[in-house]
Amino acid sequence: MKRRPLLAMGLFAPAISTGVSQAQNSAQAPAWPDRPIRLVVPFPGGSSTDILGRIAAQQLSRGLNGATVVVDNRAGAGGTIGSQYVAQAAPDGLTLLLGTIGTHTVNPHLMPGLPYDPMRDFTPIIAHSKTKILLVVRPQLGVRSMAEFITLARTRPLSVASSGTGTTGHLAQALLGEATGIATTHVPYRDGGRAVTDLLSGQIDAMFYHTQFVRAHIEAGTMLGLGITGATRSDVLPGVPTFGEGGLPAINVEAWWAIYAPARLPAPLTLRLNGIFNAALLEAETRAAFARNGVEGMGGSAEELASFQRAELDRWREVVRRANITADS
């Protein structure tokens, strides 16, 4: 998703003119926010989404001159519980959601009867951030490259963990199977941290996971990174080759996060929130926090997020179908 020059997009306009004076607007319209803003994170504390949610809450608070922004962790059902809560909230700008690739483009294809429509029931605000996905193995497995991993997988079943069914790790494993023809055993965890623990203890062979949760282990030598998604290597893990370098460019999934509000949020609030977050993504404080976590800023307009989300919905529909992934996979 390409960033556009923010000034050219008019994102720093504090309000939209209605043809009356600013004094009249102030007298007629209530101040916003007049109460604390609730940013719903649909995953538990300590998760990658929680980490990004707390960064986003700080960004919004700074942009609103210190207004209170409360992070509300409403975890469960692959992010469905928290997402449904926001979909049913009032469109007053006081309840927001940090949505994910899972909640807004994968779950609709996995969960019949999903209690919300990811396009109809939300107002897109901004594509916030993204991160690369790595395949890591325990050193005792005895492989040092993707080629060696694939060769070993052809001789015996290998267990590959993810942080849950339908997550980016699960999708990456499906793409690996499509690209190579190897069959690995998917081991979904409800908590990615537990999967990391089991990988370190030798109970599983490998795992697809986000940069921030495996970086320290790779640097310490307790995990080996065999491949990473993206067109270029990670700045924080430059020793890990891309999947493209290993001849597997089709493994190109990245986790992403976006800010949403309930459907029918007034346009002036959408524009104001979009401008605040676009400005925050340029701040040195944000860049430093993202660098620590192996995350990249995205940004752009609300319309660009909607277009991006539609493309992702179409893409993952086909991957889920081909790999026969279900909520119980």
Domains of the chain: 33-131+255-323 (3.40.190.150), 135-228 (3.40.190.10)
d(CA 135, CA 72): 31
Closest among 111, 92, 103, 104 to 263, alpha carbons compared: 92
Asked whether the predicted pLDDT for residue 16 surpasses 60, the reply is: no
Residue 325: pLDDT band by 50, 70, 90 thresholds?
Answer: confident
Collapsed DSSP state (helix, strand, coil) of residue 97: strand
Q: How far apart are CA 288 and CA 99, in angstroms?
A: 22
Q: How far apart are CA 140 and CA 96, in angstroms?
A: 44
Check whether 46 has a pLDDT greater than 70. Answer: yes
45: Cβ contacts below 8 Å, ≥ 6 apart? 73
Instruction: List, for residues 293-303, the tens digit of each pLDDT value.
Output: 889 999 999 99
Do the beta carbons of residue 257 and residue 105 sit within 8 Å? no
Cα torsion angle, 271, 279, 282, 73, sign: negative
Cβ atoms of 172 and 316 within 8 Å: the answer is no
Q: What is the pTM assigned to this prediction?
A: 0.87
- At 5, the amino acid letter reads P
Residue with tokens 């089991």: 198
Is the model's pLDDT at 57 over the cut of 50? yes
pLDDT of residue 112: 86
Higher local confidence (pLDDT), 235 or 127: 127
Q: What residues form DSSP beta bridges with 72? A: 40
Cite the beta strand spans of 138-271 per DSSP E: 159-162, 185-188, 206-210, 224-228, 255-262
Cα separation, 283 vs 219, whole angstroms: 28
Cα gap 12→115, rounded to integer Å: 35
Using the Cα atoms of residue 200, residue 233, residue 288 and residue 60 in order, give the sign of their dihedral: negative
Per-residue pLDDT reduced to its tens digit, 111-169: 989 999 999 999 999 999 999 999 999 999 999 999 999 999 999 999 999 988 889 99
